[in-house]
Amino acid sequence: MRDELFKELLESIKQGGAILRGEMKPSRVFEFDQPDVRLIRDHYGLSQAKFAGMLGISVSTLRNWEQGRRKPEGAARVLLRVAAQYPDAVLSVVYQTRTITVKKTGKTTRIGKKRQWPPAAPVRKTRPFSA
């Protein structure tokens, strides 16, 4: 059984090399839709500067995404998908002192005060040292 598994693994590695060299086509391809960044921002009703600040990215990065010069990747793509599907969750994490109306749902969200993360360490009061 071990020899059979090893031969199967070796064949897979050879096929992978052939695919990378362009000698063979892959048996399947996975494609992921790019989020429509401008549409997501429009749902929030925010300017480019405010939306970029909310996501923690530069305005130029946001503009590049919106104009198709670049595409969000990795964690940024995931964050945009979360922002599109759960706007109230994103707003409650980012803004915690304002009431915001999300255009998409028309729902008004009240959020508490802005938290500091990580929380500040408590200040210990000490007595002066006396000998």
Q: Where are the domains of the chain?
A: 1-31, 37-110
CA distance 52 to 94: 12
Indicate the angle between helix axes 37-44 and 59-66, nearest 10 degrees: 120
CA distance 63 to 42: 13
Residue 103 has pLDDT above 90, yes or no: no
Show the beta-strand stretches assigned E in the chain.
99-101, 108-110
Confidence of residue 130 (pLDDT cuts 50, 70, 90): low
pLDDT, tens only, 4-42: 999 999 999 999 999 999 999 998 888 778 899 999 999
CA distance 117 to 93: 11
pLDDT, tens only, 114-126: 444 444 555 555 5
Copy the structure tokens of residue 9: 């693994």
What would the CATH number be for the domain defined by 37-110? 1.10.260.40
